[in-house]
Structures are given as C-alpha cells and as structure tokens.
Amino acid sequence: MTYQVQDVAGGKPIKLWTEGVPVEDDARKQLMNTAKMPFIFRHLAVMPDVHLGKGSTIGSVIPTQGAIIPAAVGVDIGCGMMAARTTLTAADLPDNLHGLRSAIESAVPHGRTMGRGRRDKGSWENPPEAVDAMWGALLPGFMRITEKYPRLKNTNNHKHLGTLGTGNHFIEVCLDEDDRVWFMLHSGSRGVGNAIGSHFIELAQADMRQHIANLPDKDLAYFEEGAEHFADYVEAVGWAQDYARRNRDVMMNNVVAAARQIIATPFTADVEAVNCHHNYVQRETHFGRNVLVTRKGAVSAKKGELGIIPGSMGARSYIVRGLGNEESFCSCSHGAGRTMSRNEAKRRFTVDDQIKATAHVECRKDSDVIDEIPMAYKDIDAVMHAQRELVEVVRTLRQVVCVKG
C-alpha cells in the first residue's frame, strides 16, 4: 500500500497518498470535517498535492450518495488543463522567445482590470467569430439556467469565453524528453462559472439555515438529491464544465495561430491532445455503486486515461496515464500543490528570487507574479513518487515560455 489510512470518529476513513510530502494540520482538520458528513461513500481519497481550501480541501476526492456539496466543487467550476504535442522540435523555435510570448499574450486576453467603468483587459472587447460560434453552442443551456436564476444573466460569460484569467492560470510552451514542442494551458469557466458556484453555495447555505450550526463548517452546506436546487445545480455545474472545456479549446486554437505567426516552420498541433478537468463533479460507478464524485483539485485517472499534472512555474510537468486504482476512485493529483498562501509567498520572496527561480523560462518576472514562485509549491517529484500507484508518466515537460494572467 502506498497510502495511509486515517480513521475518523463518527465519520468515514480518509486514505492519503501523501508519502514523503507535507500535509498541513489545518488541511487534516478540514478533511476530517468532510469525512463526518453522513452521505460520504466508503472513504475520502486524498492526493499528494493536498492543501487547505474553502470548505473542502484542495487535492481531495469526495464520493457522495444522495447529496452534493457546492463549495466542494468550488467556484472555478471545470478548471483544468489542456495540452497538445506539435510536430515542432526545439530547433524550430526562435532563439529569442520573447516574441513568441508576446504573440500569445496578444492572442489570448489575460489578467484582470479592476475599477468601475473600465474595460476588463481579461475579456474580449469584441469577441472574434470563433468565440461567437462557440458561445452559440452554449447559449441554449445558459438560457435555461438564467430563466430560473436571472441574476446569473448579468455575468462575464460570452466575453470571457477563450480567455485565461488570473492567479495560477497559465499558458506554456514546453519541451518533452525528445525536445518536441508542446502547448499547454490551465483555465476554467471564468466569471460565469464563478457566479454559478457562488450563487449555489449561497443557496445551499440558505436552504440549510436551520441546520447550518450543526455542520462542521458552513461551507459544507449541501443539497439533498430530489430537492429542487439539487437538480438545478447539477444542470448548472454541468453547463459550466462544458463552458470550461470549450474555453480551453478556443484558447488552444488561438495559441496555435499565434505561434504560426512567429515560427516559420509549418506544423500541426493535434497530436496527443489532452483536455481534462480537475475541479468538477460527475456521476461514476465505484465498488459497484452509482455515486457522485467531486474532484476538488484532482484528475480522473481511469486505466489507460491520459491526464496532465503540471508543476509550478519553473518546474517540470507531466503527461500521465491512469492506472485505474479503485481505492483512489481512479484519481490522481492536479498539480504540485501549494505549501503557503499567496500573501505568505509575497511576504517571503522578492523579485530577485523570482528571476533566479525562472531563469530558464521566458515569462514575467515582476512583483505581481511572486505569489506563483516555484518555492510556494510542493516538490513535484515528491508528489509524483507519492502517487506512483495511481498513474504512470508518459511524458515529462519543461517550460520554455510561460504566460500568466
């Protein structure tokens, strides 16, 4: 066994694939709170990138029967990764990669502009035709949701489709062991997904107002299956997950188009493409039972299934193949996992530290990205070793260009 078992008085056991990686005490307490919920199926599965989250722990797999916890899915619904191997090699890239980074930054809106009356630089001013067409496919579902929940209509939806966002979302150009070029990106359902997640978290807490004092944490408020808001949430979260996947598709197409403006060698970029969520919920069958599986910072790793485990900015990333480990509900980690908060990283490290840690990467090296410094994350090699019975490594990638919001 490569996992540890933690028994929980009055709750289900917790199985942790965390050998050789730190687990903060607050995260353990949060896991125990979740394990005490009466509808947890069999056990919680905890990935090696585990760290404190809102309500439920990031890096956990939460199987439930008859109920769903909106805050466990979170507000970045459908957040995940996409990677595509190209027919390019390192020799095809320009000697100076700044132009390639600039072209990608121009092709994909990223970041965020705060302030009333100012256009958000992280959205489209006039969405291109490809975005309009993709939004057209999403619109019927959005209209069904907003007919019942009109406050969700006035959100960043159409103009956020095909945009990156902020925080740990990124676009990278990477090289594998054979010096083949990959494009990789990380984003989710943007403003509209955040609005959907926040609204249904509030609804769950309102529905449980009489009982919320009895919960270990108010963010563990849940919908019971059969209730009106349960069905509405399942529909809305499914739509947001579809939005997130299409968002990554649009971005990848624009990244490829931008690269073609800079790289003289003709290439294709549809080889070994992978598009996977790591903040989502879906119905699955495990141990012979139909259950709802919430992966909060975890990736599906069914036998033979391809997935992506990114390292931190400046560290290796991995294309993996699932081993179908049923004890983990066929899951693996979604990344390295933070060891400290964003504020702590900004307090502890300097721009000089950031420059040294990302010396081999063409990327921003300023005070606004210090919170993403590699030292704020766990050691990706230790994380991969801890989950050696969950996935096998197919490709090891190293970044040469990184675009941050």
Active site residues: 334
Between the CA of residue 93 and those of 100, 182, 314, what are the distances in Å? 9, 12, 19
**Tokens 């909060």 -> residue:** 296
End-to-end alpha-carbon separation of the chain, Å? 40
What φ, ψ does residue 129 adopt, rounded to 5°?
Answer: -60, -40
In three-state secondary structure terms, 86 is: strand
Angle between helix 190-207 and helix 228-262 axes, rounded to 10 deg:
160
In three-state secondary structure terms, 144 is: helix
Nearest to 272 by CA among 388, 89, 395: 395
Residue 336 CB coordination number (10 Å)? 27
**Amino acid at position 290, single letter:** N
Beta strand 44-51 with 14-16 is parallel
- Please state, in angstroms and rounded to a whole number, the distance separating the CA atoms of residues 129 and 158: 12
What φ, ψ does residue 12 adopt, rounded to 5°?
Answer: -85, 155
Q: What is the chain's alpha carbon radius of gyration, rounded to the nearest angstrom? A: 21
- Encoding tokens for residue 224? 């019971």
**Tokens 């992978």 -> residue:** 274
Judge whether 100 and 265 are in contact, CB under 8 Å: no
DSSP state at residue 90: G
- Please state, in angstroms and rounded to a whole number, the distance separating the CA atoms of residues 367 and 230: 42
- Please state, in angstroms and rounded to a whole number, the distance separating the CA atoms of residues 18 and 387: 8
